[in-house]
Amino acid sequence: MSVDARTATHVTSGARERSLWGRIDRGDLIRTLFVAACAVAVALGATWPWPQVPVIAVVGLVVGCWPIATGAWEDVRHRRMSMELSMLIAIVAAAAIGEWVTSLVIAAFVLAAEILEDLSMDRGRDALTDLMSFLPDTVQVRTDDGPVMRPLADVQEGDTVIVAPGGRIPVDGVVLFGRSSADQSRITGESWPVDLSPGSEVFAGSINQIGAVEVRAERVGADSSYGRIVDAVRQAQSSEPPVQRLADRLAAWLVYLALGGAVITYVVTRDLEATIAVVVVAGACGIAAGTPLAVLAAIARIARAGAFVKDGAHLEALSAVDTVVFDKTGTLTAGTPSVVEVRTDGMLDQDRLLTFAASAEAYSEHPLGKTMVASARTRSLELFPASEFTYEPGCGVTAVIEGHTVAVGNRTLVADAPEVVDAPGIASPVHVGVDGAYAGTILLADVIRPTPRAAIAEFHRRGVRTLILTGDQPATAQAVAAELGIDDVRAGLLPEQKLSAIDAEREAGRRVAMVGDGVNDAPSLARADVGIAMGSGTDIARESADIVLISSDLSDLVHTLHVARRARRIVMANFVGTIAIDLVGIVLASFGLLSPVAAAFIHVGSETAFILNSARLIPRRRVGAKVQSG
């Protein structure tokens, strides 16, 4: 974790301990109470010096309306219609006809509503900031004793950092060794990958793609582009969720309706009080305040349960999902396989075959590759240095070892490998080719993760269809699907074929969520309606995804879906409720059946009800605890 991220987490945990009372802005509170006191004083007869223009009322209004007027002025400048603006019109109109008490009461109500709004948003935000700790925290550094893992905060200028394919480049610096390409879109905005070779400049926060590179660190921590990303993330959290735009539009529309209604009321009845009441009763802040709170609270609630939703829009998309597509290796299976068998065709012995395969996989981020490296180490096999390392996502790796070109992967990569039909259980075959000729097969058995079975049953219960898309061979994929009760399987897919499978689903009118972990899943994660990455997956998958399951637990996805759907129901209820109350209120007020003060009461009361409705989603204040879905 960078220094910045740590500070952010620290600050938040401090904030979390503040009481409800401690969160209220004292200035706002005093202002509101002052305005209310002025209203009471004027109502009790403190109308000095002139009953038509009591000084206390004027002072109260100036104090009370200052923040409302500045808010309204902002809205005018941006040409938007808002609650502040309509309420200001009502307050001024009431004062103009000498209804000082009414005017002060409306101002006090508006101020109280704003405190309430700030308070609930503040609590929603806190929970979000915790997520800073999601950013990567350790990197591989080359030392005299070979590569070691080090906390990013301890990496210094001049250190040599090793970045595996699919890994996030953790520092700004210069490539010393290796060839690859990097996706720098996050830093430079340029979406086309740039080629990396010795001498190329790289930026922290960009994603290394197909090759392994070693980078000399030049700017680290908060100085690097990475440090700036942390800032950017922080800002994204304080910016408004996009669903709010719809809410704001609707709110503006309702304010126009109220003003239109007010004009008609005045023309027909010439009753100024009724006219003011019409303006006051509408205003639609239940929508404007309730929607962002619901989204923020839902994101926070999901976060507490171990998933990171990058944006409110993704939550909306998830609530509509009817098909969940899973990658297999690393997603449904643990991605921690073990070597169960080494078969050779006689050219090399078993140890040598494994040594070659492991040497070629030395930089691999793929679970199968890592396993072969670990297995070679356990057998005390000495690995050879490899060069010209390349990774073909969904197929395997090639590298030059001892002058031989070694290919390790599936039958797309090792063309003359035999189909393995007698693999035990859910073992996956990985073939090894040396100088273009098939040399042997390593069988790796993975275990199915503990949670998918229950999670998949839950998806089915909620009417969601499940599907496996995998690059592995059909027999293994079908065994996994049968074991987990998954509806459908497509096996032997290259990354592009995973993409077209997702396109086909979407063209058939389905709303698709894709869950994956690998470099090869990244394009599909970006293409699906909602991309979901396993926390244990590669950086590039987590980068491409909209939602990250930090704990790699699929039951968190069930919970996330549940909360997303609940948030949508709450937002819809607020929409419908606000419109209903505003319409009924406008009709009653225009017939003179609602006084301006009663109208203010209904306005603020209904807004409070909608905010509280959204606030039901705010997670309990227990850090790290799983929030029970319900």
Under the rule (CB under 5 A), what is the footprint of Mg ion? 327, 329-330, 517-518
E strand intervals along 372-414: 386-392, 396-401, 404-409
Smallest separation, CB 191 to ligand ADP (Å): 23
Rg (CA), the chain: 31
Question: What would the x/- binding string for ligand ADP be over residues 485 to 524, using CB under 6 A?
Answer: ---------------------------------x-x----
CA–centroid distance for 132 within its chain = 12
* Helices of type H across 241-336: 243-269, 272-281, 285-304, 312-319
Which window, 269-277, 393-401, 503-511, 559-567, contacts ligand ADP (CB under 6 A)? 393-401
| Catalytic pick among 327, 446, 517, 556 | 327
Report the SS3 class of residue 492: coil
What is the Cα–Cα distance from 18 to 122, expressed in whole angstroms? 11
What is the Cα–Cα distance from 29 to 25, expressed in whole angstroms? 6
The entry of ligand ADP, Mg ion, none that residue 150 binds, CB within 5 to 8 Å by partner kind: none
Residue whose CB is nearest to ligand ADP in the complex, by number: 471
Q: Which is nearer to Mg ion, 129 or 538 (CB)?
A: 538
What is the Cα–Cα distance from 364 to 200, expressed in whole angstroms? 22
Q: Which is nearer to ligand ADP, 171 or 395 (CB)?
A: 395
**Residues near 488 by Cβ (< 8 Å), separated by ≥ 6?**
465, 466, 467, 468, 481
Locate 247 and state its tokens: 């809410």
Torsion sign, CA atoms 244, 249, 253, 258? positive
As beta bridge partners, residue 400 has 387, 405
Q: Which is nearer to Mg ion, 368 or 627 (CB)?
A: 368
**Cβ neighbour number for residue 181 with a 10 Å cutoff:** 18
CA terminus-to-terminus distance, the chain: 33
Query: Binding ligand ADP by CB under 6 A: which of 297, 386, 397, 514?
Result: 397
395 binds ligand ADP (CB under 6 A): yes
Smallest separation, CB 488 to ligand ADP (Å): 15
Residues 409 and 392 sit within 8 Å (Cβ to Cβ):
yes
Which window, 187-195, 253-261, 377-385, 392-400, contacts ligand ADP (CB under 6 A)? 392-400
Residue whose CB is nearest to Mg ion in the complex, by number: 518
Q: Which is nearer to Mg ion, 175 or 540 (CB)?
A: 540
Which window, 285-293, 466-474, 525-533, 543-551, contacts ligand ADP (CB under 6 A)? 466-474
| SS3 annotation, 155-189 | CCCCCEEEECCCCECCCEEEEEECCEEEECHHHHC
Locate 438 and state its tokens: 């098939």
Q: How many residues does the chain have?
A: 630
Residues 381 and 361 sit within 8 Å (Cβ to Cβ):
no
Q: Which is nearer to Mg ion, 84 or 517 (CB)?
A: 517
126 is catalytic: no
Smallest separation, CB 326 to ligand ADP (Å): 9
User: Which 413-442 positions form the footprint of ligand ADP (CB under 6 A)?
Assistant: 428, 430
Which window, 65-73, 83-91, 289-297, 389-397, contacts ligand ADP (CB under 6 A)? 389-397
Query: Binding ligand ADP by CB under 6 A: which of 327, 505, 539, 582?
Result: 327
Query: Binding ligand ADP by CB under 6 A: which of 221, 227, 261, 330?
Result: 330
Which window, 74-82, 130-138, 366-374, 613-621, contacts ligand ADP (CB under 6 A)? 366-374
Smallest separation, CB 486 to ligand ADP (Å): 13
Report the SS3 class of residue 514: strand
606 binds ligand ADP (CB under 6 A): no
The entry of Mg ion, ligand ADP, none that residue 312 binds, CB within 5 to 8 Å by partner kind: none
- Total residues in contact with ligand ADP, by rule CB under 6 A: 23
The entry of Mg ion, ligand ADP, none that residue 408 binds, CB within 5 to 8 Å by partner kind: ligand ADP
Amino acid at 279: V
Q: Which is nearer to ligand ADP, 67 or 492 (CB)?
A: 492
Query: Binding ligand ADP by CB under 6 A: which of 124, 369, 440, 531?
Result: 369
CA–centroid distance for 554 within its chain = 16
Dihedral angle of Cα 161, 167, 172, 173, to the nearest 10 degrees? 50
What is the Cα–Cα distance from 163 to 173, expressed in whole angstroms? 12
Smallest separation, CB 258 to ligand ADP (Å): 55
The DSSP line for 75-97 is: HHHTT---HHHHHHHHHHHHHHT
Query: Binding ligand ADP by CB under 6 A: which of 75, 114, 472, 529?
Result: 472
Smallest separation, CB 395 to ligand ADP (Å): 5
Smallest separation, CB 366 to Mg ion (Å): 8
**Which residues contribute to the site for ligand ADP (CB under 6 A)?**
327-330, 361, 364, 366, 368-369, 394-397, 408-410, 428, 430, 470-472, 518, 520
Catalytic residues: 327
